[in-house]
Structure 1
Amino acid sequence: MPAPVPARPRRAVAFCCDDRYLPYALFAASQIAGQAPQRDFDICLCGTEKPVIPDSLAGLGLRAIALSPEPALAGFGLDARRSESAYHRLLLPGQLAADYDRILYLDSDIFVQGGDIAALLGADLGGHAVAAVRDNPQWRTPGRMPEEFRTFRLGPARYLNSGVLLIDVPRWQKLGLTERMLAFGQSRGGQLKRHDQTLLNCVLHGDWAELSPKWNWQYSRAARLHEAMLGANIVHFIGPEKPWNAPAGALPPRFGAELSRFLRQHFPQRATALPPEGTGPGSRRMLSMLLRHLLNRRKMARYLARFPTDLTLRP
């Protein structure tokens, strides 16, 4: 096991995962480390049980951090695809405040293609505690009313996707957001339809800075071809189809091929044969995607025009 890595700068990228998702979090962490070998930020793997980083990845200088369990989370809603670790991102600002003033939280089901993460960590959030990307239903329909806002009798507001969160730790602490979210969840645990995302959106209710979708390109049939032309910094595989389990033709083969090579080298016991086939140009899936992209092209153009650069933030 690699020797413990102490905290260095006051900025970090952090993943929260259990053992099931650890290989995929480490894959994304290795992509970031490879793209920023002289980085001035830490890369942390966090869990209530300290993640075990293979010796073969010791050279990347990753930190493994054990989070203190939060008993209140036990009653919060989950589903078959998620464990309690889905809520651990809400604990990061409080439990890592001694080491970090800025934290970029990332989900484990991502593919990191580029982007200046150091510059993002230094972005001006305009007094907000959180910056994030809208959830993709609001990309094309900004005024769309989220179901949770109706459920909890909240007014219309922007609705964020919680897969990528840029957190100003002192501001988060000053606003008492962890405590407010835990209190909200304890009183409505069975109604948290989208888990941590519901908590964040209902407590913040639009009080967050908006990032370019290039930092959290939520991969769907209605947006994947736009990504192929524009290029995203982080591709986020929302929904059940991931590079490690997607059926043949569901995703471009490059995603699975790179992950497969990583798993064979560092987690051979978890390596599986991933389908090499991509989506054929004459397939029904391709025809469906082409039609969706054709129909939404103007709405997507309006949305993307709001972000002249990938470091533009909207208050």
Structure 2
Amino acid sequence: MESLESIWMHAIFFIADERLADLAGAAALQMTLHWDCDFHIFIERQEPTAQIREVGSGRITYHYEELGGFLPDGLPESSRWPRIVYLRLFAPRLLSSYRRLLYLDADILSFDADAALWEVPLPHGLGAVADLAALERGHDKKERKAWLAGIGVRSGRYANSGVLLIDPAVWNRIDFAGMLPEYFAAYPATTFPDQDFLAHVFDGRWTELSPRYNWQGGVLHWGLTRAVAPVFVHFCGMVRPWHGAQALWLDPNDSAYSEYYDRALENTGLSVQAYRKVFRLPPLRRAKYALLSWLSKKGIPSRREGARRAEWWSNHRFLRSYIEGGLAEARFAGEPRTRLDLREPHPFWDGRFVRVDGDLPPGDPVRMPPAEAT
């Protein structure tokens, strides 16, 4: 019989294949700085003989090929959305002794810990953050209501599946294996298969968490990050911070995130060079962006700059209004604030992107000496 102590414990878990295993290990080790809980990394290799470099820590447990058997055949998959995206549904079966579980994508860093998250009531078994890129319009810029209807969502609510707060006692009563084939037979044109499926299964019946628990990559440069003070930053863009700092015209986000990832990887004993990826721009495009930036500094804005600035301010104000409205209405679970402490941002034009420098989460997320890996 399990002790009461074990029943009331909490855990964070990741799921990765051999391509993301090192990043999941680095993220888990980095989070041991902030979070007093257990960590589980489920490895589901596409190549069974692939060697996995485990991060040495007493709080981190690795699991190998323990989840694939739960998954029914015939589910949609692609190079962008491999089969492992569905496995987050089944890991709670193997972690059922915990009172609360927190699933995190491997492309997330923790900037703080908030023990209040573990106490959020989950009457339907799930807490999540709204998908911030789909608040105004559907993915692929589709009309939102029609897009949601096309994936079987009637409530108007849609969550990002990169951070999931789970009550395993409730979650494990759901027959996900039986529901998955039925869902994709009824809704074959999904864009984000696992995320769309969860939005349908929990249609309007999930607890909305504050955006600070899943601050997503697409909004990092909208001038709200420091005010939001995210607990988790989710780097779900095309250019990832472990690729290394890029030229201004390749990524609108602050290069400090790349420095954080460099240290997180180095703390696992990994070489950051193995994760570098250089995105190149043709010389003519670089020259065009440089000219547009120079004209802006001289007080001669281009039409492109005017349009991009207007779009940036529209995005900033919309997201700001959404968050401030949620705070004022106490709509976000686990969020004690009633307002944002926000200074008016001062964006600038670099020739391609409207940017805000120095708008980073408070604190330093990686401040430990290198750890041994086995």
TM-score where L is the length of structure 2: 0.67
Question: How big is the shift at 1:177?
Answer: 4.5
Contact 1:31 / 1:112 at 8 angstroms: preserved in 2?
yes
- Alignment partner for residue 302 of structure 1, among 299, 321, 327? 321
Contact 2:222 / 2:316 at 8 angstroms: preserved in 1?
no
In 1, distance between residues paired with 2:319 and 2:101? 29
1:102 and 2:100 are equivalent in the alignment: yes
Change (3 A) 1:23 1:48: closer
Q: Secondary structure at the match of 1:295?
A: helix
In 2, distance between residues paired with 1:255 and 1:222? 10
Contact 2:124 / 2:170 at 8 angstroms: preserved in 1?
yes
1:4 is matched with none
In 2, distance between residues paired with 1:145 and 1:60? 45
One-letter amino acid of the structure 2 residue matched with residue 207 of structure 1: R
2:39 is matched with 43
1:23 is matched with 22
Change (3 A) 1:238 1:14: same
Question: How big is the shift at 1:12?
Answer: 0.8
Question: How big is the shift at 1:206?
Answer: 1.4
- Alignment partner for residue 244 of structure 1, among 230, 236, 242? 242
In 2, distance between residues paired with 1:215 and 1:81? 24
Question: How big is the shift at 1:72?
Answer: 4.0
1:256 is matched with 258
Contact 2:21 / 2:43 at 8 angstroms: preserved in 1?
no
- Alignment partner for residue 311 of structure 1, among 334, 352, 366? 334
1:3 is matched with none
Q: Over alpha carbons, which structure has the higher Rg? A: 2
Contact 2:12 / 2:102 at 8 angstroms: preserved in 1?
yes
Between 1:164-173 and 1:46-55, the stretch displaced more is 46-55
Contact 1:216 / 1:235 at 8 angstroms: preserved in 2?
yes
In 2, distance between residues paired with 1:243 and 1:188? 37
1:271 is matched with 274
Deviation digits for residues 18-77 of structure 1, max 9, x if unmatched?
Answer: 1101121122212210123xx1x211111335997746x323520112323236444222
Deviation digits for residues 225-263 of structure 1, max 9, x if unmatched?
Answer: 211443211111223221123743313212112222333
In 1, distance between residues paired with 2:34 and 2:144? 38
Q: Secondary structure at the match of 1:205?
A: coil
Question: How big is the shift at 1:150?
Answer: 2.2
In 2, distance between residues paired with 1:147 and 1:242? 31
In 2, distance between residues paired with 1:46 and 1:21? 11
2:59 is matched with 61
Q: How many percent of aligned residue pairs carry the same amino acid? A: 25
Total equivalences in the alignment: 295
Q: Secondary structure at the match of 1:34?
A: coil
One-letter amino acid of the structure 1 residue matched with residue 100 of structure 2: R
Between 1:152-161 and 1:20-29, the stretch displaced more is 152-161
- How do 1:35-184 residues align onto structure 2 when only pairs under 5 Å count? 35-36=34-35, 39=36, 41-48=37-44, 54=53, 57-59=55-57, 61-66=59-64, 67-70=66-69, 72-97=71-96, 99-116=97-114, 118-125=115-122, 127-139=123-135, 145=144, 148-152=147-151, 154-174=153-173, 176-184=174-182
Change (3 A) 1:165 1:297: same
1:203 and 2:201 are equivalent in the alignment: yes
One-letter amino acid of the structure 2 residue matched with residue 128 of structure 1: H
Q: Secondary structure at the match of 1:191?
A: coil
Contact 1:115 / 1:233 at 8 angstroms: preserved in 2?
yes
Query: Unpaired segments of 5 or more residues in structure 1?
Result: 1-6
TM-score where L is the length of structure 1: 0.78
Contact 1:260 / 1:274 at 8 angstroms: preserved in 2?
no
In 1, distance between residues paired with 2:153 and 2:98? 32
Q: Secondary structure at the match of 2:32?
A: helix
Q: Secondary structure at the match of 1:100?
A: coil
In 2, distance between residues paired with 1:168 and 1:287? 47
Question: How big is the shift at 1:184?
Answer: 3.1
Question: How big is the shift at 1:151?
Answer: 1.9
Deviation digits for residues 85-117 of structure 1, max 9, x if unmatched?
Answer: 1111011222322x323110001111221131x
Between 1:210-219 and 1:79-88, the stretch displaced more is 79-88
Query: Unpaired segments of 5 or more residues in structure 2?
Result: 1-5, 279-288, 297-303, 337-374
Contact 2:213 / 2:232 at 8 angstroms: preserved in 1?
yes
Question: How big is the shift at 1:221?
Answer: 5.2
Contact 1:73 / 1:87 at 8 angstroms: preserved in 2?
no
